[in-house]
A = this chain, B = another copy of it.
């Protein structure tokens, strides 16, 4: 055998093998993504959800899509997640849609609105009621693909250093309450104040604010709010089932092979149910702790809730007039809410009243 022939055979063989290998590995290309989040690294509930999402995608894809998580302020400030992912600075983000009301007021429907959908209803609207399609339409303008990727469950009405017995007690009330809840409070004479999480404790302690909402027993306890507030009011009314979002840079998403796209979508779904399950358990334990610590739990008078409900309704109506897409999303959301409420009433509500 001639050396020339051997080399030719070897080249042919290697050629075949290389071709074979590159074909079988078309879907084996590795992607390394950065995830930016609006939460401190491993923040209870929310930050853990981001970490779980990244880990899940890594394992489902056998590390073909590898995601490294950056907590708030590690790469960018917490409220720059939207722009940073839209521009491709990171491929993926984990945050809350109500932070982006400056982009479009309609974003808020994809987290939670006052007297809106519960988590079960929200998932039904998003997955089966056309919600995700509208969300995609809205975020498409920003080069982003949105997915629900977590839920906190009903958030509490907040911590108060003043008892609320009538609408008069809300007049002039300085309360840390962002977003639509804040707008509603302002319309009924209160003074909504926006403060970052880390500033709340001191503001409540020094009397700079009279009241604050945060999340629920689990996160509230971690902030020590029970040490500086007299009352813990319920029920929550302004954020009944906040959906947490995963946003993906559209170009990055479209570059993925189909199975990796499906892996990202499915991991988001799994984290959606997982985070609510986690929160439910942790809230249950923290509530017991707070009660044992002597925290006094009260109810808003129904007169107050009636006014808050009506005001919320007109705030949402106003919001819908902002532009065409806001109206389209408002109509879909409100019509779904009106249709699902009778079902929720004779299923979940009737059962819980009975149990």
Among A235-285, those with CB < 8 Å from B are 235-237, 240, 257-259, 262-263, 266-267, 269-270, 272-274, 276-278, 280-285
Q: When each residue 318-351 of chain A gets 1 if its CB lies under 8 Å from chain B and 0 otherwise, what string results?
A: 0000000000000000000001111111111111
CB atoms of B347 and A235 under 8 A apart: yes
CB atoms of A120 and B235 under 8 A apart: no
Interface size class of A (residues with CB under 8 A): 35 or more
**Chain B residues near A237 (CB-CB < 8 A):** 351, 354
Q: Could you tell me the distance between the alpha carbons of A278 and B341 in the complex, rounded to whole angstroms? A: 15
CB atoms of A277 and B28 under 8 A apart: no
How many of these chains are in the complex?
Answer: 2
Per DSSP, are chain A's interface residues mostly helix, strand or loop, or mixed?
helix
CB atoms of B269 and A118 under 8 A apart: no
CB atoms of A259 and B62 under 8 A apart: yes
Q: Could you tell me the distance between the alpha carbons of A305 and B355 in the complex, rounded to whole angstroms? A: 9
User: Which of the 9-residue segments A94-102, A124-132, A182-190 touches chain B?
Assistant: A124-132
**Chain B residues near A28 (CB-CB < 8 A):** 24
CB atoms of A351 and B118 under 8 A apart: yes
CB atoms of A277 and B124 under 8 A apart: yes
Q: Could you tell me the distance between the alpha carbons of A2 and B6 in the complex, rounded to whole angstroms? A: 10
**Chain B residues near A234 (CB-CB < 8 A):** 346-347, 350
**Chain B residues near A349 (CB-CB < 8 A):** 349, 352-353
